[in-house]
A and B are shown apart, each in its own frame.
Chain A
Amino acid sequence: MVLNWTPEVIVDFIVAISGFVLTIITYIKPKTKKITTLIYIRLAILGFSIFLFIDGLSLLYVSKVLSIISGFTLIPLTLSLVIGITYILKENFYSLGFVIVIGLSILFIYIGFQPNAVDIQIQGGYIRLPWTGLFNDIGIILIAISEAYMLYWGIKTLKNAPFLIKKEAYLFFLGIFFASVVAMVFYILYLIDPYYILMSNFALLIGLLIVTLSAIIEPKLLYILPFTVYRIVVKDREGYPLFDHDWSKSEISENIFTGFINAIQLMSEEIMNMGGLLDINLKDGILILHESENISVGLITSKSSKLLRYSVANFTLDFENKFEKILKEGNKDMREYESAHELIEKYFSNFPSRIISHKRKPLLLTEKILKLPLTLDTALKTIFKDEKEYDFIKSEIYRTPESTAAGFISLYNELKKEFDDIDNEYEKN
C-alpha cells in the first residue's frame, strides 16, 4: 500500500507529538496532581493531539473512517476544554457552552454516520479528505468553540498572572494566541483555499510549542486560578504562632485573623467533631480553619474552594507528622518550624505569589536590617531606651529627608534644656 505522505500529514504528526509532550509535561511538572481543572485541560490537550494524529493517519492511509473518527475526537477535546475552563471559574461543570457542545456533539455523531460526511479530493496537488456538508459545519463550530475557550483561558491567565511570572504569562499568551486566533484565521481562509490548512496547522504547531515552552519554564501558569490566596498561619494549642507564609497582601487585619483562630481554639472539640475544617466568611475574604491535635491552621483566601480545603487539610496533617516531636515538647521557636516551607511547596506550589504587587512599587528595608551612622545610633540609643521605640524611630528615619535625624537631635537638646530650665525656675519660685 502506498502511503499518502503530504506536508499536511507531516505537520499533523509534528503538532500531535508536541501535544503529547505538553500532556506529559502537564502531568509530570506539577507537584499536586489531583487538580480537577488541570485534569480536564490535560485531557483537552491529549484529545487535540489524538485528533491531529488520527487526522494525519486518515490522510496517510486515505481512510474516510479514520477521518470521521478524527472528527469524533473533537467532541472529548471540546468538552474537556469547556469543562476545564468553566471549572477554573466556578468549580462546577455546567455552563451554556457545555450544553451547546453536548447538543452539537449528538448531532455531529449522527451526521458522521451518514454517507458523504467525508469526501476524497485532490486539492493543491495532494490527496485530501475534506469533511463535507453539515459534518464539516459542526466540526468547524466545535473547533471554533475550542479556540474561543482557549483564547479565554489565555486572557484569564495573563490577567491573573502575578508580577513574578508575568513575563512567562506573556509568552504563554502568545502561544495561545497563535494556537487560537492565528490558527482560526488560517482555518477560515482554508475554506477558500485548501493551502491554508497547512498554515493553520503551522500556527497551531508554533502556538503549542510556545505554550509548552512557557509551561516548562513556569508550570504555575497552568494553575492560575481566579482567586487569591493571601496567607497561612500555624499556631499551637496555646495560640503561639509557629509558622506563617504570605502569598499576597490581605485586607483582613492581623487582629481579626488571630482573634478568629483563638476563638476557634476555644471551641475546638466541636470543630473536631465537624471534621476539623471550617470556612468563615469575612468581609474581605474567607478564612479556612483547620484544627488538629496539636495545631490550628488558618488560611485566608479570596474565596473558598474544594482544592484549598483539601490542601489545608493535608498541609495540617503533614505539619503534625513532620514536627510531631517538637510539637509535643511544646517548642514555640518559629525557627524550628521554618522547614515547613517544603510543605508549602508541596501543597500550595500551584498558587503563585503576588507579594510583589508591582515592579515599581517602592520598597524599604526594615529597621532590623538597617544600620545608622555610629554617632547618630549612639545618640538615639541614649534617648530611646525602649527597644520598640528605638526601632520605630529608626524605621522613621529611613523614610524622612536626610537632615531630619540631625534636626531631631538638635531639637531634643534644645527642649531638654528648656524643660530643665523651666523645672529649675519652678523650684526657685
Chain B
Amino acid sequence: MSNLNLTLSLTLNHPSVQSVIEIAKEVIDNNNVLDTELLYNLTKRRLKLPRKGLLSIIQFLINKKVLVEGSKYTRDEVLENKYRFNLYRFLTFNLGVHFSTIKKQIVTDSSGNLGSSGQLIWHLEMLIKFNYIKKIKIKNYTVFLPYEIDDEIGLIHFVLRDEIYLKIIQLLISNETLKKSEVHKLVNEKREIIYYRLNNLIEFTIIELSGDNNTLIINSQKKDDIISIIKMYPQNKSQINKLTYNNE
C-alpha cells in the first residue's frame, strides 16, 4: 500500500480502489451524504493510505465516473428530469386524468414512442413522494392530481372527462331537474349505461335525488364549481390533447 504510483497503475480492480468503493457504498447504504471529505477521512482512518495516493484514488473514481457529483434529490431537483417535468405539466393541464389515459397520452421520445409502464409509474411515484401530485381512487380508477387541487374538484374533473357524464350534467344544468327514467332517451344511450352513471353521480354526490326518488337535481353546493369547470373545457370535445414529450 505504501508505494502507490497510482497515476500509472490505477485500475478499477486495484485492491485499494475496491476498498475505497466499498467504504463509499457503506456510507450511501447508511443513508449518509457522501462527500470527498467524508470519504477521505473514513478511508484514511481505515486503510491507512498516504494522502496523495488516497486523493488520487478518489480523483480516479470521479474521472472514471464511478463517483459522480450529486446528492439525494431535493424537491426542486425532482423536476429537473424532463420526463417528470412534462408529466407533472400534463397532470396540471389535464386535471382528473386516470392512469390508463396518462399511459396512452405520454410519449417518451421524439419518435412518438410510448414509454414503458414501469417508467411512467416510477415518475408518478416520484411526483407523489415529493408532494407534487397525489392519487385518489375513484371507482376502479386511480386519478392523479396536482397536490394542491382539492379532491372534490379532482373528482368533478374526472367525471366531466367522460362524454356521457358531461351530457347528463349539461342537461341537468339547463333543465334544473330531470326524471331519472327519461335521461337515457335525452342522451340517446342504453338505459343500463345511463343508470350506471347516474348511480355513480349520486354516489359522488354530484347529483341528488329529490323527494320522489325519481327526480334528479345537481348538488347545489357543487353547481358553481361544475359550471366553471365545464366552461374551461372546449365544448363537448375530448379535453385531452396528446403532447409529445422528450424523455431526457
Contacts and interface: CB of A to CB of B under 8 A. Distances in A.
A366 interface: yes
Given A419-B99, A419-B103, A359 B36 contact: yes
Interface residues of A, number: 52
Contacts of B205: none
Contacts of B213: none
Contacts of A386: 116
Interface string A339-365: 001100100000001011111111111
A383 interface: yes
Nearest to A364: B70
A14 B140 CA distance: 90
Contacts of A402: 31
Contact of B72 (A345, A400, A425): A400
B121 A415 contact: yes
Contacts of B39: 363
A364 B28 contact: yes
Given A365-B67, A366-B68, A398-B28, A360 B129 contact: no
B7 A341 contact: yes
B8 A342 contact: yes
A283 to B, nearest CB: 21
A362 B70 contact: yes
Given A363-B35, A369-B25, A389-B118, A418 B125 contact: no
B105 to A, nearest CB: 14
A68 B58 CA distance: 54
B24 A355 contact: no
A326 interface: no
Interface string A358-398: 11111111101111000000000001111001000100101
Interface residues of B, number: 48
A11 to B, nearest CB: 33
A360 B28 contact: no
Nearest to B55: A164
Interface in B99-143: 99-100, 103, 116-119, 121-122, 124-126, 128-129, 135, 140-142
Nearest to B72: A399
B100 A419 contact: yes
A422 interface: yes
Contacts of B33: 362
Give chain A's interface secondary structure class: mixed
A7 interface: no
Among A163, A338, A356, A407, residue most surrounded by chain B Cβ atoms (within 10 Å): A356
A32 interface: no
Contacts of A126: none
Among A365, A370, A422, A425, residue most surrounded by chain B Cβ atoms (within 10 Å): A365
Nearest to A362: B71
Contacts of B21: 365, 369
A356 B39 CA distance: 12
A384 B117 CA distance: 9
A124 interface: no
Contact of A356 (B62, B117, B126): B62
Among B65, B100, B118, residue most surrounded by chain A Cβ atoms (within 10 Å): B118
Interface in B49-73: 55, 58-59, 62-63, 65-73
Contacts of A163: 36
B224 to A, nearest CB: 32
B36 A363 contact: yes
Given A164-B55, A407-B129, A411-B121, 6 more contacts: A366-B65, A369-B66, A370-B28, A401-B72, A403-B129, A407-B128
10 contacts: A356-B58, A361-B69, A363-B39, A365-B67, A370-B25, A383-B116, A386-B116, A393-B119, A398-B28, A422-B140
Task: Give the top 4 A-B pairs by smallest Cβ distance, nearest first.
Answer: A362-B71, A383-B118, A359-B37, A408-B125
